[in-house]
Structure 1
């Protein structure tokens, strides 16, 4: 027994020493945050490896490389794959697992998650989908590929990856037609890829779809019964525009609101729900993933408060009408969509969302988003500090300078970590999708400018 205790003590001492050495140079946090750092590393490792493997189809080596792009210390994780679950630990500490469920993707195993086992993706009759042999976007055929543009796209993807930018998919839609698409090795037109914060835009669009179905929907304050104080002033529009005024810590460091929300909380939305007011609602823009998860929680409540009802709504009202066969929107352990971050979709499905916005919310002659909603979504907010943000979409024009000077002024964007981008350009009738895993900068403006129609 004494030898076992001495061995355990030696292991713990060695781990703490390792963390002390790694923390300042690799992890970017103080050794006093070592406990939170282990929880973040194992939570992130289990969640991303599970989704990477069971949703995107990646092998363990690629998953580990993706995790290591956030911190080289993540290579020390022990990741075990078994029975549609991934378990992560760091030197035996912080053991965390995530489980895969068809239709829901991967969810961290926090608390009682048995209710999720009962959720089923309802069968879709072949007649409900548009013909798979028809032209994109209704089907999968792409007869309008433009050879010169395709060559340019292939060159950009090759150059990106020679430079280590890890571009995985590039796609261009012009005038409603798929005119070029290029994929890295191991990626296809059917591969669901993580959009990170691009999911915020889809969350907003789901709110818009509910408003189209229920135009008399009560959006009066308070949005949540828990907000009986000054937070009852927060409106749905404030949440959509990131001007709620809530004090949410978006920094991605151990112990922050954002990392707790994504990698250790049973309910992602609960973290922001408990946030206090720092500003008068509507006056101050603050980019907050917590705010988007409040939108997801509000939507969940409006739909009846069950994960099955939320999944049915997504499938019936968004995925089936748009022909999005390769999309998974993941939930947290409480059964609410993690709208801020966890949507996996193929490049073609991301492009379908962009095209719906380009078409003013109309798809195949059916209005899915309320009249005027898209115009409001791409309109600048009224904050005092940063108006260049609409309804969970980034605006190219909104401040004193363009976000991307090379691109049309009226362009607006879904943007996500690792430089995920969907650009919607009304003046040129163009949607461009870029999916990848770039740890640093990416030449979005420079590359996308080469793909726009030449006047």
Structure 2
């Protein structure tokens, strides 16, 4: 036993010396952040590898490459896949073991604290429907010229290592072109990251339409009733102007990384954030804010994981025919609205089309028209008005966000350059999903596609 202990201590000393030398230049963090960095790396590794494997169907090698795009340190992760239990565990050089487990229909959740409530959730399958898209999955109106345009852009993107995995174009409510990288199909659920923020807002819009939003008076949460946070409104949460002091930087130990990779309750991190600005006056992009919205929705629905899942599936997925979508829960049983939704390109396009049609889906008003109008309207903050209800706006600031694109366009945007564009003036929805570590030419590529679409004789004849 003594010999083993000495070996362990000696190995740890060697590891510490190596990390001291490597961390600042190669791994991207200071040695003083080692504990937090290990927690982030193993939490992120277990969570994303689990979802990559059991939700998207990716190989272990692809999962590792995707993780390494965030930090070279992630290449040092040891990821262990237990396909029988559908669980993935991660360690970093033998340190900080963290695991995540897959549950059918719910995706993957980190094994932090008591997660037994998740095991009791029951889900009814959404069966495929044999009909043309968007009601069903038959792509009966593919435009050959537009299909070639998307294929060309996808090939060009991936020759430049932009890792575009799906491109899709909807014109006048019709799916006219879609292109996929190798290993990706029309049914593959892909991570939208912060595009989940827009969906979370849409769930709130559906609650409002159903008259289930309840009393909108403040305080929004009981924990805020005796301090300045009592003045925070639902609108200020939706518009990222809550005034809360939430650290959105993605560094070891930050609010954002603890929220996503190291806590039992994602929303609790933001719930405990102190006030910094007067609500409604200052825009500050915050994933924590969205998870507060998810918590607020959960409380209105009965505050049980089953009630949240039932609402999402019966009021959003089933009416829209979204059978290739998974919205993941945190270990406490609340949706991680800021970040963890996986959906096929066709399902992302369905969400965009619902907004384009002003909340109406094939004759049924799922979301109030007034709510959709508010969602795409600038906010009143002093520093970033070009943001609506968890949607980024092209207009509203000093200049267009994407000068090449229509001024009235607005967007779901997510890390690694996930994009759903809704353009009312051109009656267009466009989807790009991928894993770009650097910048992606969204404006130029989407403008090129839009020019092809509006110039197409087939599309023009259909108008």
Using the size of structure 2 for normalisation, the TM-score is 0.96
Compute the displacement of 1:26 (Å): 3.4
Partner of 1:113: 115
Compute the displacement of 1:326 (Å): 0.1
Counterpart-to-counterpart distance in 2, 1:252 and 1:18: 24
- Cα contact 1:415–1:422 (8 A) shared by 2: yes
Partner of 1:259: 257
Compute the displacement of 1:364 (Å): 1.0
Compute the displacement of 1:91 (Å): 2.0
Counterpart-to-counterpart distance in 1, 2:333 and 2:418: 26
The alignment status of 1:5 with 2:5, answered yes or no, reads: yes
- Cα contact 1:248–1:288 (8 A) shared by 2: yes
- How do residues 342-353 of structure 1 correspond to structure 2 at under 5 angstroms? 342-353=340-351
Structure 1 residue matching 2:312: 3-state secondary structure:
helix
Compute the displacement of 1:421 (Å): 0.3
Partner of 1:177: 174
Partner of 1:220: 217
Counterpart-to-counterpart distance in 2, 1:195 and 1:14: 40
Residue 292 of structure 1, aligned match among 290, 300, 310 = 290
Partner of 1:23: 23
Compute the displacement of 1:454 (Å): 3.0
Counterpart-to-counterpart distance in 2, 1:215 and 1:426: 28
Partner of 1:90: 92
Counterpart-to-counterpart distance in 1, 2:380 and 2:289: 17
Partner of 1:244: 242
Compute the displacement of 1:216 (Å): 6.5
What is the CA deviation profile of residues 175-205 of structure 1, one whole-angstrom value per residue up to 9, with x for unaligned ones?
Answer: 0000000000000000000000000000000
- Cα contact 1:122–1:312 (8 A) shared by 2: no
Compute the displacement of 1:123 (Å): 4.2
- Cα contact 1:103–1:120 (8 A) shared by 2: no
Pairwise CA RMSD: 1.1
Residue 207 of structure 1, aligned match among 204, 209, 230 = 204
Compute the displacement of 1:241 (Å): 0.3
What is the CA deviation profile of residues 267-286 of structure 1, one whole-angstrom value per residue up to 9, with x for unaligned ones?
Answer: 00000000000000000000
Compute the displacement of 1:9 (Å): 1.3
Counterpart-to-counterpart distance in 2, 1:384 and 1:409: 20
Partner of 2:141: 144
Partner of 1:390: 388
| Unmatched segments (≥5 aa) in structure 2 | 456-463
Partner of 1:65: 65
Residue 424 of structure 1, aligned match among 422, 425, 429 = 422
| Unmatched segments (≥5 aa) in structure 1 | none
Counterpart-to-counterpart distance in 1, 2:93 and 2:2: 20
Residue 160 of structure 2, aligned match among 130, 152, 163 = 163
Counterpart-to-counterpart distance in 2, 1:348 and 1:123: 18
- What number of residue pairs does the alignment pair up? 450
The alignment status of 1:310 with 2:308, answered yes or no, reads: yes
- Cα contact 1:22–1:73 (8 A) shared by 2: no
What is the CA deviation profile of residues 86-124 of structure 1, one whole-angstrom value per residue up to 9, with x for unaligned ones?
Answer: 000112210000000112110000011111100111245
Counterpart-to-counterpart distance in 2, 1:313 and 1:197: 21
Q: 4+ runs of 1 displaced by more than 4 Å? A: none
- How do residues 290-439 of structure 1 correspond to structure 2 at under 5 angstroms? 290-439=288-437
Structure 2 residue matching 1:450: 3-state secondary structure:
helix
- Cα contact 1:172–1:178 (8 A) shared by 2: yes
